[in-house]
Structure 1
Amino acid sequence: MIVAEERTAARICAGVDWAKDDHAVCIVGDDGEALQRFMINDNRAGLKDMVRRLLDAAVQEVGIERPDGTVVQALLAAGLTVLVIPPAQVKGLRSRYGSAGNKDDRFDAYVLADVVRTDRRRLRPLQQDTAATTALRTTVRARRDLVVHRVAAANQLRAHLQIVFPAAATLFAAIDSDISLLFLAKFTTQEQADRLSVTALAAWLASVSYSGGTDPAVLYAKIVKAPRGTTEAAAAAHAVTTGVFIAVLRTLNTQIRVLADAIGAQLDAHPDKQILTSLPRSGCVRAARMLAENGDARGRFPTADSLACLAGVAPSTRQSGKVKAVTFRFGADKKLRDAICDFAGDSRMANPWAADLYAKAIGRGHDHPHAVRILGRAWIHIIWRCWQDHTAYDPANHGALQRVLNQDQETAA
C-alpha cells in the first residue's frame, strides 16, 4: 500500500522596509503570493501591532535591510528569526521582479519577504552582539566622530592663521595640541607676538609646563622668520575668530578625553579584552575599536576568510571568459576595515613578522594601502583563531614570527 507523504506546513515569510517615520510590511505565503501588506508607525503602538500581526499570520522569519534599531529589537523580542539583506543586494534584486527598478517601500517589503522564501539557504540569521559590545561600539564611534570634527576644526584654524598670524600656524607640531591652544589664547595677534623675546618665551613656556622638548630659542626663531601677519585694527577682528576656534578645539579635546576614559573602563570590563590588547601596539582605544567593530557574536564568522571579506582586506576576483581581474573589495564594512588597517599598519613597528610581510608586499610593487591590507588579512587569521579559542595572542606560539626571528639570528651569526 502506498502511503501519501505528509504535507509540510506552509512557510509564511515577511519583509519589513525600514524608514524614518513608518515602515512597510509584507507577508507572503508558500507560493510567493502577498497575503498582507500594511504600514506601521515608528512608535511603541505601531511596533506592537506589527509583531501581533506577524505572529497571527504564523510568520517565523523576517527579512530586513538593517541589523539594528527598534524594529529589529521588537522582532527579536517576539522570538522571530531576523535575516538581514543589505540595501545594495535589495537594489540588485528588484530587477528579479520587474524591469523598472524603481524604489518603492511597499514593493521592497515584498522583495525582502519573497527573497527570504526563495533564498533562505543563502541567508544567515542575525546574531547580535552582547550589550557590553554594543555599548562599547557606540562609545568608540562617538569618539571617532569627534576626532573627525577636531581634524576639520584644526584645518580651519590653520588656514585662518596662515593668513592672519602665520607664525602661530606652524609653531608647534599640532595646531590642536594643548600647548598650541594655550599660546594662541595668550598671544592672539602678530603684535602681541612681536613683544616676545627668547627670555620671555622661555618664561611663558615654563609657566605652562611645556614638555615638548624644543628649545625656546628655536621656537622664537620660527616666530621671527615667519611672514608677518595682520596688524593694527584688523588684527583685533581676526582675533575673535581665532578665539572661537580655540574654544571649539578645547571643547573637542576635553570630550574626546572623556570618551577615551569611558572606552578604557568599558574595555577593562569586557571578557574579550585580553584577546585584542595582547596584539602588538594595539593599545586601549585601538583594541576597543577592533573589538567594537568586529563584535563578539562568533557565529557570524564561521571562517577567518568570512571575516576578512567583510573587513574588505581580501581582494575581489572578477572573471568573464578569458578575462580575470583581482581588484579592491568595495563591498565591505568600512569601519571594520579602517580599524583593522589602522592596527595592521602600526603593528609592523613592533612585530618583525608584520614588518617582513609588509616589506615583501612593498617589494612586489604594491603601494602602502595595499600592503597594509595584505598585512591586515594575515592578522585577521590570527585574530580570528584567538577570538574563536578565547585566548590571547602569544608571540611564542606564532610560528611565522618565530621563523622570521630565527632567520634574523642566523643572518646576524
Structure 2
Amino acid sequence: MSLVGAEYFVGIDWAATNHAVCVLDSSGRRVTGFGVEHTAAGFTGLIRRLAKLGEPGGVPVAIERPDGRLVDALLAAGYPVVAVKPNAIKTWREGEVISGAKSDPGDAHVIAEYLRLRAHRLRAATPLSEDTRALRLVSRTRSDLVAARVAAGNQLAALLDTAWPGAKEIFAEVTSAISLAFLHRYPTPDHAAHLGEKRMAAFCIKHGYSGRRSPAELLTRLRAAPAGVSGAVVSDALRDAVLALIAVLTALNTAIKDLDRSNAAHLHAHPDGKVFTSFPRAGLVNAAQIRAELAEPDAYSGPDAIAALAGLVPVTRASGKHHAVSFRWACNKRLRVALTTFADNSRHSSPWAAGIYRRAIAGGKDHPHAIRILARAWVRVIWRCWNNGQPYDPARHGGAARQLNPPTAA
C-alpha cells in the first residue's frame, strides 16, 4: 500500500491512558490536534473524527508501536498504519526541535511530520490474519513463560548455592521434575539428615527416575558438596524459600505444557502449518515460533527483507576511509531466536544444512556467525515454500538434492 500522494497524515503519540493526535495536510499545515482516551469510546471517537478527512485508505496513520488494541482498531477501520521506531522519532525531534522542548501534542506533530516527509520510504503494516494473531498470542506467551522459568530456576540455583549446595548437585538439572520432587520432599539439610541409600532408592522408584546414577552415587554427590545451613530458625526460613520457588516452577511447567498443546493445535489449524512443520527438525514449538513472528507473505518484498528483519545479515557502516561491518542489533529478536534455533537443529538432519555450516566454520566463522549464515540460507528456502504453499521436499530443493544424489563420474 503506497503512502505517497495522501492528502492528510496522522501522527499519534501513544500513552497508557490518553493518546495525543495530530493531523497535517500534504503541505505540512496543522489541520487539527486532539486527545484520545484509551477506551472503547475513545477509539470510536477517533475513527469518527478521522472519517471526516476522507476514505480511510487515503489517510495514513503513524504510531510508535506495532500492535495493541488501538492499532487493531485503526487497521480494522481500514487505515494504513505505519509503526515508527521510537529511536527514529527521538532523533528526528532533536533535529526539528532545537530548543529540546517536549510534550505529547508536540511529539504527535513530530510523528505526523516524519510520516509526511518520509512516506516514500515507509511501509504500512499488513493486518495479520486471525489464525496468525492467535498463533502469535500463544507462542509469545509461551516464550515469556519459558524466560520466567529460566529466571526462577536461576533464583533456586543461587539459593541452593548459598544455603544447601548438595541439593543442587545431586541431579543434573535443578529445575527437572525429579529435582523439584526431591526438594519438595527434602527442602533443607535437616530434612535429608537421615536419608540413606534405601530411602533414596525408594524415592527414585516412586518418581520414575531414569537417570544413569545409582542411589548410592546420588547420595555421594549430595554428601560430597559443602554442608548446608543448620539450625531451626534458618532451616525454617530455607524451607519456606525453597518451597515457594518450587511452587513457582511447578506452576510455570504446567502452564508451559498447556501452551505447548495450544501451540500445536493453533499451528495445525493455521493454513501455513503444513509448510512450516515440514522443515527438518523444526518440530511443533519452533515451527510455531517462526510462523508466529512472521506477518503475511505480502508484507515482505522478498527473503532478504525477512533476513534483515531477523538480524541475520550484518550492518555496513562506511564513511570516508572508515568501513566496518557489524552485528545487526536492531531486529525482531524473537524471530532471530526462532530462525537460528531451527538452523542449528537442522544441520543434524539435513546434509545440505550441515555442509553450509561446515564451510562457514572452515572459513573462520565462529558458531553463532555460522548459524546465522545457515539461517539466512534457510530463509530463502522457507520463502519459496511459503509463497508456493508447498511443504519442504529435499528432492525438489536443488542444493539438498545434490547432497542426496551426488553426480557420478563418467
TM-score w.r.t. structure 1 length? Answer: 0.91
Residue pairs, 1:291-330, within 5 angstroms? 291-295=291-295, 297-330=296-329
Residues 60 and 80 of structure 1 are in contact (CA less than 8 Å); yes or no, is this contact kept in structure 2? yes
SS at match of 2:282: coil
Q: 2: CA distance between counterparts of 1:98 and 1:165?
A: 58
Q: CA deviation at 1:57?
A: 2.8
**Aligned residue-pair number:** 401
SS at match of 2:191: helix
1:167 is aligned to 166
SS at match of 1:172: coil
Q: 2: CA distance between counterparts of 1:103 and 1:292?
A: 36
1:40 is aligned to 36
1:206 is aligned to 205
Q: 1: CA distance between counterparts of 2:70 and 2:185?
A: 52
The runs of 5 or more residues in structure 1 that have no matched partner are 1-8
Which residue of the other structure, out of 3, 21, 26, is the alignment partner of 1:25?
A: 21
Percentage of identical aligned residues? 42
Q: CA deviation at 1:410?
A: 7.9
Q: 2: CA distance between counterparts of 1:164 and 1:113?
A: 57
2:222 is aligned to 223
Residues 343 and 371 of structure 2 are in contact (CA less than 8 Å); yes or no, is this contact kept in structure 1? yes
Question: 1:351-405: per-residue Cα shift (whole Å, max 9, x none)?
Answer: 2222222222222222222221111111111111111111111111222223344
Residues 23 and 40 of structure 1 are in contact (CA less than 8 Å); yes or no, is this contact kept in structure 2? yes
Shift >6 Å, 4+ stretches: none
More deviation in 245-254 or 196-205?
Answer: 196-205
Question: Per the alignment, do residues 75 and 235 of structure 1 end up closer, same or farther by CA in structure 2, a change over 3 Å counting?
Answer: closer
Question: 1:221-249: per-residue Cα shift (whole Å, max 9, x none)?
Answer: 21232222223423333222211111111
SS at match of 1:122: coil
The runs of 5 or more residues in structure 2 that have no matched partner are none
Q: CA deviation at 1:282?
A: 1.0
Residues 164 and 235 of structure 1 are in contact (CA less than 8 Å); yes or no, is this contact kept in structure 2? no
1:14 is aligned to 10
1:135 is aligned to 134
Question: 1:140-179: per-residue Cα shift (whole Å, max 9, x none)?
Answer: 1111111111111111111211232222102112111111
2:272 is aligned to 272
TM-score w.r.t. structure 2 length? Answer: 0.91
Residues 317 and 327 of structure 1 are in contact (CA less than 8 Å); yes or no, is this contact kept in structure 2? yes
Q: CA deviation at 1:67?
A: 2.3
Letter in 1 for 2:135: L
Letter in 1 for 2:15: A
Residue pairs, 1:112-131, within 5 angstroms? 112-131=111-130
RMSD over aligned Cα, in angstroms? 2.2
SS at match of 1:121: coil
Q: 1: CA distance between counterparts of 2:408 and 2:351?
A: 15
1:61 is aligned to 60
Question: 1:328-361: per-residue Cα shift (whole Å, max 9, x none)?
Answer: 1122111111111121122222222222222222
Q: 2: CA distance between counterparts of 1:237 and 1:112?
A: 53
Q: 2: CA distance between counterparts of 1:386 and 1:262?
A: 25
Q: 2: CA distance between counterparts of 1:343 and 1:22?
A: 41
Residues 170 and 218 of structure 2 are in contact (CA less than 8 Å); yes or no, is this contact kept in structure 1? yes
Question: Per the alignment, do residues 163 and 62 of structure 1 end up closer, same or farther by CA in structure 2, a change over 3 Å counting?
Answer: closer
Q: 2: CA distance between counterparts of 1:274 and 1:209?
A: 35
Q: 2: CA distance between counterparts of 1:102 and 1:327?
A: 34
Residues 18 and 24 of structure 1 are in contact (CA less than 8 Å); yes or no, is this contact kept in structure 2? yes
Question: Per the alignment, do residues 350 and 186 of structure 1 end up closer, same or farther by CA in structure 2, a change over 3 Å counting?
Answer: same
Question: 1:24-66: per-residue Cα shift (whole Å, max 9, x none)?
Answer: 1111122111111111211122222222222213362222222
Question: 1:257-288: per-residue Cα shift (whole Å, max 9, x none)?
Answer: 11111111111211111111111111111111
Residue pairs, 1:86-105, within 5 angstroms? 86-105=85-104
Residues 89 and 114 of structure 2 are in contact (CA less than 8 Å); yes or no, is this contact kept in structure 1? no
1:345 is aligned to 344
Letter in 2 for 1:284: L
1:49 is aligned to 45
SS at match of 1:38: strand
Q: CA deviation at 1:406?
A: 4.9
